[in-house]
Structure 1
């Protein structure tokens, strides 16, 4: 009988939750700079990033970008890397005269969708942990 493995028990939802949090930061940054002249809206492809995170977790590293963080001592905790080079610029429907490419309505819609997806992953993980806790208690 095999021991409970968190990656098997939780699936991709732990990686999805972390990536949704990072995407929320990127989208919030876009919204915060919607009036900044010359600001370029950025985002990343969530599906590709999640696939990369899942693939990296199968290999045994915790890096989402495929670049390993150097550990100088065995006692150091493996870091989670996030490199801004993975962000891409959004092509605007109609860029502003000042060069700003943020469309606040699109950004708000994307942020709301990301928030719903974040909450769905969070609720799924919460239910999984409740199930695991019940299994440990023998319920």
Structure 2
């Protein structure tokens, strides 16, 4: 019985996980908008979802360099798909590739899609509850 619940909700569960990790990447881009030589990163949502649905966990997807032994490893629970560098739209003198207009748009778009997934999960749960209660 639990496997049927998992199967019914697994797509949206994985979508929420991928969207959450993408939101973290976009937020890091925004936070580092003034950091010299920072390269904007994003997640290939389609590839990450394919890997998540296949059960692939790519620990190297969010690989970071440690400059001190006191730094954390920086490997969150990854779903695969890999974080990639964004193409440079407008170069800057300090080597930073963050375009705040792009980042804000991607952040808002991802947040709306995250909310849509939550609404869909709530709808599925309500249907299951109604079926269980015999309504």
Is this a same-fold pair by TM over 0.5? Answer: yes
Instruction: State whether residues 18 and 79 of structure 2, in contact with CA within 8 Å, keep that contact through their aligned partners in structure 1.
Output: no
Is 1:12 paired with 2:11? Answer: yes
- 1:73 matched residue in structure 2: none
* Corresponding residue number in structure 1 for 2:57: 64
Take 1:40 and 1:107, find their aligned partners in 2: how far apart are those partners? Answer: 12
Alpha-carbon distance in 2 for matches of 1:51, 1:98: 36
1:119 to 112, 115, 118: 115
Q: What residue ranges of structure 2 are gaps of 5+ in the alignment?
A: 61-75
1:107 is displaced (CA, Å) by: 0.6
Using a 3 Å threshold, how does the CA distance of structure 1 residues 26 and 47 change in structure 2: closer, same or farther?
same
State the Cα deviation string for residues 43-62 of structure 1 (Å, max 9, x = none).
11001000111011xxxxxx
Q: CA deviation at 1:94?
A: 1.3
Unaligned runs of 5+ in 1: 57-62, 68-79
TM-score (norm 2): 0.79
TM-score (norm 1): 0.77
Q: In structure 2, what is the Cα distance between the partners aligned to 1:52 and 1:40?
A: 24
| 1:1-139 superposed matches below 5 A | 3=1, 5-56=4-55, 63-65=56-58, 81-82=77-78, 86-139=82-135
Structure 2 CA distance for partners of 1:85 and 1:121, relative to 1, 3 Å: closer
3-state SS, counterpart of residue 35 of structure 1? coil
Displacement after TM superposition at 1:136 (Å): 1.6
1:126 Cα deviation after fit = 0.8
Spell out, residue by residue over 1:67-125, the C-alpha distance to the aligned partner (whole angstroms, 9 max, x if none): 8xxxxxxxxxxxx8318992111111112100000000001111111011101101000
